């Protein structure tokens, strides 16, 4: 193999991007020096997308290492060369497979991100809806739906809270006459509110007899 700029597949089916080269002076066994070309590139992780580490390769595709032994990261197949160089026709299926795998991985990551966003939005929505329901349960049937289950209708809760605040302000402005508002309080908060006694000891709707 003669290395060139481009994309390669290693012996362990990892992807390498060869992006530059340089010449070095290497000492020979006879004591002389000779020019040697070294290729630099980026080894990608197993997903074929994420950068892993930078390495150097010999001109014949072997991973450059001090021991000079074979490595799983030796370049095995040219996938796509630069400058018009194309892979051999027998490697076209590898190119198509890798491109398809990269696209599927990108789309899978994008899908998972959107799914996670949607799930979190649903959890947030349910959390705040539960809070509104808890507030609605403090009111009487005015907060309930007309359905058989009698559940709280969240859309009614803001108006009921407004009514409760208005009543509270009226009570505070004339506390001695708060019992006069008992019917309105009962309608808003339910039968429990009617148990609050009037100043004369009677409850809402009860008259005093001589």
pLDDT digits (tens, 9 = 90+) for 173-189: 777 666 666 677 766 77
Taking the CA of residue 126 as centre, how many other CA atoms within 13 Å lie in the half-sphere pointing to its CB?
A: 6
Average pLDDT over residues 190-202: 48
Structural domain spans, the chain: 6-87, 89-136, 137-205
CB 204 within 8 A of CB 184: no
- In this prediction, residue 165 carries a pLDDT of 85
- In this prediction, residue 146 carries a pLDDT of 62
CA distance readout (Å), 203 to 112, 180, 208: 61, 11, 10
27-31, 32-36, 92-96, 137-141: least confidently modelled range: 92-96
* Distance, CA of 116 to chain centre: 4
What is the SS3 assignment for 141? helix
Q: Hey, how many other C-beta atoms are within 10 angstroms of the C-beta on 65? A: 13
Distance, in Å, from the CA atom of 97 to the CA atom of 79, rounded to the nearest integer, reads: 11
Distance, in Å, from the CA atom of 156 to the CA atom of 134, rounded to the nearest integer, reads: 13
- In this prediction, residue 72 carries a pLDDT of 83
What's the token pair of residue 7? 């994309």
- In this prediction, residue 127 carries a pLDDT of 94
Instruction: Return the higher-pLDDT residue of 147 and 8.
Output: 8
Note the pTM of the prediction, 2 decimals.
Answer: 0.41
Instruction: Return the higher-pLDDT residue of 141 and 132.
Output: 132
What's the token pair of residue 192? 């429990």
pLDDT digits (tens, 9 = 90+) for 50-96: 889 999 999 889 998 867 667 888 999 988 887 434 444 444 555 56
pLDDT at 207 over 60: no
Instruction: Return the higher-pLDDT residue of 129 and 26.
Output: 129
């Amino acid at each position: 193999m003669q290395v060139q700029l481009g994309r390669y597949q290693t012996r362990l089916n990892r992807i390498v991007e060869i992006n530059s080269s340089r010449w070095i002076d290497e000492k020979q066994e006879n004591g002389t020096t000779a020019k040697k070309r070294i290729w630099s590139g980026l080894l990608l992780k197993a997903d074929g997308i994420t950068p892993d580490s930078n390495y150097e390769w010999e001109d014949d595709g072997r991973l450059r290492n001090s021991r000079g032994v074979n490595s799983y990261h030796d370049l095995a197949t040219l996938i796509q060369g630069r400058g018009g160089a194309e892979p051999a026709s027998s490697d076209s299926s590898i190119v198509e497979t890798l491109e398809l795998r990269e696209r599927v991985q990108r789309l899978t990551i994008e899908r998972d991100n959107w799914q996670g966003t949607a799930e979190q939005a649903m959890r947030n929505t349910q959390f705040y809806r539960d809070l509104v329901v808890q507030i609605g349960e403090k009111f009487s049937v005015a907060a309930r739906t007309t359905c058989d289950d009698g559940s709280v209708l969240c859309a009614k809760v803001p108006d009921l809270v407004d009514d409760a605040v208005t009543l509270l302000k009226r009570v505070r402005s004339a506390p001695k006459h708060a019992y006069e508002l008992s019917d309105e309080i009962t309608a808003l908060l339910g039968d429990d509110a009617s148990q609050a006694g009037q100043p004369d000891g009677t409850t809402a709707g009860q008259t005093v007899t001589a």
